[in-house]
Amino acid sequence: MTFIERMIGAAKLDTRVYEEVEADRTATPQALAVVVLASAAAGIGIGEGLRGLLFGTVAGLLGWVIWAWLIYFIGTRWLPEPGTQADTGELLRTIGFATSPGILRVLGVVPALGPIVFVVTTVWTLVAVIVAVRQALDYRSTARAVGVCIIGWLVQVAILVVLGGVARQAG
At 6, the pLDDT band (50, 70, 90 cuts) reads: very high
**Among candidate residues 26, 15, 28, the one with its CA nearest the CA of residue 68:** 28
CB contact burial 12-40 (16+ within 10 A = b; e otherwise): ebbeebbebbbeeeebeebbbebbbbbbb
Calpha distance 138→145 (Å, rounded): 10
Residue 111 pLDDT > 90 = no
Residue 152 pLDDT: 93
Calpha distance 106→112 (Å, rounded): 13
Residue 26 pLDDT: 97
Looking at residue 99, the DSSP 8-state letter turns out to be T
Q: For residue range 84-109, list pLDDT tens digits in order.
A: 999 999 999 999 999 999 999 999 99
Q: For residue range 118-160, list pLDDT tens digits in order.
A: 999 999 999 999 999 999 999 999 999 999 999 998 998 898 7
Is residue 115 within 8 A of residue 46, CB to CB? The reply is no
pTM value? Answer: 0.92
The H or E element spanning position 12 is none
Calpha distance 171→80 (Å, rounded): 41
Calpha distance 63→31 (Å, rounded): 14
Q: For residue range 39-58, list pLDDT tens digits in order.
A: 999 989 988 888 888 888 88
Calpha distance 109→127 (Å, rounded): 24
Give the gyration radius of the chain's Cα atoms.
16
